């Protein structure tokens, strides 16, 4: 693989966590970016600036402070729309997180469009946020929920997909990049097949938006769920993108202030898009912070980020595959070069929580558990796994230390078991 510039040198200075001195945290190795990303000072400053000098409710007030808050909030919507190449900012609906975005589709679109003989098609590698809402819809509507299987390498079984999609399929809901396997799914191919039978496609883009350019027009999808805290933005904010003509036909998800046009004692009419789906006071500062995070990522360049993280991922796999008794889930970088920048693994005879706790004592943060993918872990016959996930702030030196400490932790557990 071609050597790329070390982005960590350019970017770590922007993250307070990686710049602290004179305490233990200055030596912290954070390898849990797939769970939540660290926040650059540009995002932190944007939040502080809003709450210090722009704090007011949006859309409702006639005073100057409300006008400033509204302008910043709607600019955040415009930035989000351009980030994914949406046709219009009206197609961006701010939510609390990606989970709420998926639930919005499941309740608003699902309740009105899915009937008893219909089918929803998802994959075995889905996060619980893209499983449970469809299970609930299946119980409400009587529709059938079906799962696409996996190949031996942990990639989507396209042959199984071809077998299971049919004229009864109303929706294909799947992730772009797996938070456990690292698998990057062939969305354009899936969308083409889904649309040929009249099905819509919802994409969970939580693990891709911070790592590669995502273009809803070229992917030709119908819905996309995104999360702020995965892309260097604040928690408590996410968004749903949907095709405007589909969103226009969908009934409101939640009722209350902001989402109405007119209210009488017996009935109400709804505001235009996107406000129809944004009941109550939104996470204003958080949306502004998310937009600043998007601007920050774009200033680095998604292509540069992707290239750098691909090189790091290959290096991580090179180190891990030399460890005795390790099993790594999902395709290797050689099998899928555009896979996510993470490695999920388990050690024969050792619980992943023990690995994680020992590494934490050495100031290394990784994730352990089922990563909100219990069906996937049951498929592989394991209770839990450990996961190291990277970002453009990660370094090869951190991977060296992590792999050596992992070996030491395994040896310690074996000696004392």
Catalytic residues: 372
Contact 385, 344 (CB under 8 A): yes
The two tokens of residue 170 are: 């109303």
| Separation CA 366–CA 214 (nearest Å) | 26
Bridge partners for 184 per DSSP: 177
What is the chain's alpha carbon radius of gyration, rounded to the nearest angstrom?
22
| Separation CA 229–CA 283 (nearest Å) | 13
| Separation CA 135–CA 118 (nearest Å) | 13
Contact 150, 379 (CB under 8 A): yes
Contact 217, 242 (CB under 8 A): no
Contact 274, 93 (CB under 8 A): yes
Closest CA to 216 of 28, 88, 31, 392: 88
In a 10 Å sphere around its CB, with 0-12 CB exposed, 13-18 middle and 19+ buried, how is residue 296 labelled? buried
| Terminal Cα-to-Cα distance of the chain (whole angstroms) | 41
Closest CA to 59 of 51, 48, 67: 67
How many C-beta neighbours within 10 Å does residue 263 have?
Answer: 11
The two tokens of residue 340 are: 């996510």
The two tokens of residue 383 are: 């209770």
DSSP, res 272: P
């Amino acid at each position: 693989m071609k050597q790329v510039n070390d982005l960590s040198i350019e970017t770590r200075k922007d993250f307070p966590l990686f710049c602290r001195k004179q305490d233990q945290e200055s030596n912290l190795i954070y390898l849990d970016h797939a769970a939540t990303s660290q926040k650059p000072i540009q995002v932190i400053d944007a939040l502080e600036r809003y709450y210090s000098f722009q704090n007011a409710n949006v859309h409702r007030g006639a005073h100057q402070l409300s006008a400033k808050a509204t302008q910043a909030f709607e600019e955040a919507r415009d930035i989000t729309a351009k980030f994914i190449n949406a046709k219009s900012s009206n197609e961006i609906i701010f939510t609390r997180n990606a989970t709420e975005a998926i639930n919005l589709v499941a309740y608003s679109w699902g309740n009105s469009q899915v009937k008893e003989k219909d089918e929803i098609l998802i994959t075995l590698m889905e996060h619980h946020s893209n499983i449970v809402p469809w299970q609930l819809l299946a119980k409400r509507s009587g529709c059938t929920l079906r799962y696409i299987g996996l190949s031996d390498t942990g990639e989507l079984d396209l042959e199984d997909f071809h077998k299971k999609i049919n004229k009864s399929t109303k929706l294909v809901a799947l992730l772009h990049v797996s938070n456990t396997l690292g698998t990057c799914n062939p969305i354009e191919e899936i969308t083409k097949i889904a649309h040929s039978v009249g099905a819509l496609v919802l994409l969970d883009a939580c693990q891709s938006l911070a790592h590669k350019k995502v273009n809803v027009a070229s992917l030709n999808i119908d819905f996309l769920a995104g999360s702020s805290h995965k892309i260097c933005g604040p928690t408590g904010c996410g968004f749903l993108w949907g095709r405007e003509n589909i969103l226009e036909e969908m009934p409101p998800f939640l009722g209350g202030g902001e989402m109405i046009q007119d209210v009488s004692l017996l009935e109400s009419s709804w505001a235009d898009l996107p406000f129809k789906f944004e009941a109550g006071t939104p996470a204003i500062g958080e949306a502004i912070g998310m937009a600043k995070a998007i601007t920050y990522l774009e200033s680095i360049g998604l292509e540069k980020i992707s290239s750098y993280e691909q090189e790091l991922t290959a290096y991580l796999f090179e180190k891990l595959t030399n460890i005795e008794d390790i099993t790594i889930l999902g395709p290797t970088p050689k099998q899928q070069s555009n896979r996510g920048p993470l490695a999920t693994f388990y050690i024969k005879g050792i619980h992943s929580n023990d690995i994680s706790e020992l590494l934490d004592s050495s100031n290394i943060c990784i994730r352990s558990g089922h990563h909100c993918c219990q069906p996937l872990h049951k498929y592989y016959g394991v209770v839990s796994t450990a996961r190291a996930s990277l970002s453009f702030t990660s370094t090869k030196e951190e991977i060296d230390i992590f792999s050596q400490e992992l070996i030491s932790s395994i040896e310690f557990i074996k000696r004392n078991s």
